[in-house]
Amino acid sequence: MTLLAVAAAIFERARTLTAPPRHWLMATLAAEAARWSLWLAVGFGAGIAVYFALPREPPPWLGATIAVAAVGTATLARRQLALAASGIALASAALGFTAAQAHTALADAPRLGRPLGPVAIEGRIVELSTLEVGVSLVLDRVRIGGLAAAVTPARVRIVAKTRRDPVAVGDRVETRAMLRPPSPPLFPGGFDFARKAYFDRIGANGYAIAPIRRAAAGAEPARIDIFLNRLRQRINEAIDAALPPGVAAIAKALMTGDRAAIPESDVAAMRDSGLAHLLAISGINVSFMAGIVFFIVRAGLALVPSLALRYPIKKIAAAAGFLAAAAYVAITGLTVPTQRAFLMMSAVFLAIVVERSVLSMRLAAWAAIAVLAVSPIALMGPSFQLSFAAVVALIAAYERWRESWGVARQRRGWFGRAFLYVAGVAATTLVAGFATAPFAIYHFNRFAAYGLAANLLAIPLTGAVMMPAIAAAYVLLVFGFADPALAVLGWGIEAMLWVARTVAAWPGAALLVPAMPSAGLAGAALGLIWLCLWQQPWRWAGLGAVAGGLLAIGITPGPDLLVDAEGTVVAVRNAEGALLVSEPRERWMTQLWLRANAQSAAAPWPAAGESADRRLRCDAQGCLYRVRGRTIAWLRDPRALAEDCRAADVVIAAFFVGRRCGAATVIDRRTLAAGGGHAIRVERDGTIRIDSVAAARGARPWAVASRALREDRSTTAGGRCEGNACTPRSSLSSPPAAMPLAPPALPAVP
C-alpha cells in the first residue's frame, strides 16, 4: 500500500511539473488546427519513403492491412482526439506504403540478366532523342533474335550512331545491337539506374552495331503517347532547321522537353550558374505560358466592348490559360515538376471560374498526394524533391509577406513597382535556393553560389522574351512559318547562355560538396516541412533540423577505398582526404566517385613507387594501401597472391582467389560479381567496415531478375538462359569510341 501511495505521489508530481509544457503544446496545436490536414501529404510520402528504404520486399498485404487497422482505430476512437489523430496519421502513411507496393508490382517486367549480343533486335519506336552524335531510341513491342517472348524486355533503350533510313516515332525498326542489363549503382549508396529503368519498364540498354532500318510494319493500334512523341519530333525538326545546333538543343528542351542534345559545356554553365531549373520544364515555365495566354486573351476581349460587357471575359481567359497549360504540359512531357505545376495552375483557374479563393498550401499538399498516388517512385527522385521543396517554401513565404507586399505595391508608382518586381525575383530566388539547397547537395554534390545574380537577369528574360516566343512559335508552327518566332527565341537563348557562362566563370561559382548521408537529407527535409507547414513560433525549430542535416555532411566520413564491380578500377583516399583513381580518364563511374567526394579531378596515382603520403605503394603486380594500421592489397597479377595474402588484412582481386588466401577478408571476382562495387572504411580504432552495392540495395524487385526470366530455360542466339542470367555467345565488347555507352545522365535541377 505504501509503494502504491509513493507511486501515485510521484505520478501526480510529474503531472504537475509537466503541466506547463503540456498546456503550451495543446494550445499551440489548437492554434494550428487549420494546418493539420497538410500533414496527410507528409504521412503519405513518409509511407512511400519507408517502403523504398526497406532492405527486403515486404508481404503484399502489409500496407493495406495496416491502413485498414489504422482507419478502424481512428473511427472507433473518434472522440479521443490524440488516438484518432494517430490513427489518421498512420493510415495516411500506410496508404502511401500500399501505393508504392502496387506501383512496384505493376511495373514488373522481364529484364536481361547478363550482357547479350551481337543480336538482332526489332521493335517500335516510342521515344526518339537526338544526341550530340547519333540518336537514342526507346523501343517497345520488342523481338530479340532467339530470345523467348517470356524473357524479352518490355522496353529497350538503344543508342545509335547512324541510321540507314529516316525513322520517326511509331515506326517499327530493326538492327543488330549489343545489349546489357540496366546499370546498378556504381558504388554503395549511389544513384540506382536499374531502379529508374525498372519503373520505366526498360529491361535492357545497348548500342546498335548496324544501321537502323524500317521493318515491315503490321497494324498498330493508335496511342496518344505515340501521337505526342511524333508531334515532338516534328517540332524538333522545325527547330533544327531554324536555329544553330547549340541554341536549337536548348530550344528543344524548352518546347518539347528533349534535353538529350544539349552540349555538356552548356549544361555545366547552366548548372554552375544556378539556372539549370530553366532547362527542366517546371512551375516557372508552365506559369509563364498559362499567364501569357490568360492576359493576351483577356486583354484582347477587353478591347471589344460588346464582348467585354456581355460575357465573363476573365473566366474565358482562365479557360484559355488552362488549355494552354494543358497543351504545353502534354507536348513537353508529364515530368514531375510539370504535373505539380499543372495541377496547381488548374486549381487557380478553376477558382477564377467559380469565383472562389485558393488555399495555396493546401493545394500544394493535394498536388503532392496526386503526383505520388500516380507515381510513388517520384518521391525518390530529384525532380519531385526540388520542385515541391521550392513551391512549398515560396507559398509559406508568400503567406507571410502577402499583405505587406500588396500594401507596398498600392502605394508606389511605376518605378517603385519595378523595384518591387526585382526585389520579388531576388526574394523568390533566395527562398527557393534555401529550400532546394539540401536536395541539390544530396543529388548533385554542388551548390551554385551566384544563383541570385544569374536569376535576376535570366528570369525576366525568360518571361518577357523566351516564353512569349515559344507561345507564338507553337501557333505559327500550325501554319508552317514559325521561323520569326523561333529566331526571337534563339536571341533569348543566346542571351541566357551569355548570362550562364559569365556567372559560371566567376571564382567559386560552383561549390562542390561531399556526399550527404540519407539520414542528413531526411532531417533537412523534415526541418523544412516543419518550418513551412506550421505558422506559430515553434516552426523556427525546423531551422535546427535543416542545419543538423547539412552538418551531417561534415561528420560522416567517406570510404577510404572504392572498387568497381569488375575489380579493375580502384580509388583510395590520401592523407588530405582527396581520392586517387587508378584510371582517372574520363569515365562515368570515376566522375561519380569524384563528385561524391567533392573533387573535380583525381589526385595523381603513382604508376610505380609510393604516393606522396606513403599510404599507397604500387608495382606492376598490384598495390598496397595502408591506413590506420591496416593494409589493403589490390592485385593485378595472380603471382602476387601468396605474398599479399600474408601481408594484407583485405585482398581485392579481379580474378578468382578461392581458398588460396589467408587474409581475413577476400574480395575476388566471385564476390564482386555477386555484390557489385565495394566501399571500404577503416575506423580510427582499426575496425574495417565493408559495404557493397548489393547489400545497400537489398533484395528488392529492381535488384533481382524478373520472375519470367528466373523461370525460363530457353536457348538464345547468344547462348543459354539459366536461372537469372543469359550467357552470350561472345562477351560484350567495348562500344565505339564515338558512342560511349554510359548510364543516363541525372535529371536537370527543376
DSSP state of 56: B
Sheet with 719-722: strands ordered across: 715-716, 719-722, 725-727
In the structure grid, which three cell numbers stand for residue 728, read together? 552470350
pLDDT digits (tens, 9 = 90+) for 678-731: 999 999 898 999 999 999 998 899 987 554 444 443 333 333 333 333 333 332
Q: How far is CA 40 from the centre of its chain?
A: 23
Residue 721 near residue 729 (C-beta atoms within 8 A): no
- Of 212, 183, 28, 35, the closest CA to residue 112 belongs to 183
Q: What is the pLDDT confidence band of residue 121, given thresholds at 50, 70 and 90?
A: very high
**Most confident listed range (105-119, 206-220, 722-736):** 105-119
Mean pLDDT to the nearest integer, 589-615: 86
Q: Residue 744: pLDDT above 80?
A: no
Q: What is the CA radius of gyration of the chain?
A: 29
Domain boundaries, the chain: 1-31, 35-107, 518-555, 566-675
Mean pLDDT to the nearest integer, 4-11: 58
- Of 194, 186, 112, the closest CA to residue 565 belongs to 186
Residue 144 near residue 120 (C-beta atoms within 8 A): yes
Maximum distance among all alpha carbons in the chain?
96
Q: Residue 178: pLDDT above 90?
A: yes
Least confident of 99-108, 338-347, 740-749: 740-749
Q: Residue 19: pLDDT above 70?
A: no
pLDDT digits (tens, 9 = 90+) for 516-547: 999 999 999 999 999 999 999 989 999 999 99
Model pLDDT, residue 583: 82
Q: 420: left (phi > 0), else alpha (psi -120 to 50), else beta?
A: alpha
Least confident of 5-19, 331-345, 649-663, 730-744: 730-744
Give the global pTM. Answer: 0.85
Model pLDDT, residue 218: 59
CA end-to-end distance (rounded Å), the chain: 67
Model pLDDT, residue 747: 36
Q: Residue 30: pLDDT above 60?
A: yes
- Residue 474 and residue 491: Cα distance in Å, rounded? 17
Average pLDDT of the chain?
83
CB atoms within 10 A of CB 309: 8
Residue 54 or 724, more confident? 54
Q: Residue 413: pLDDT above 50?
A: yes
For residue 658, give the 3-state DSSP assignment: coil
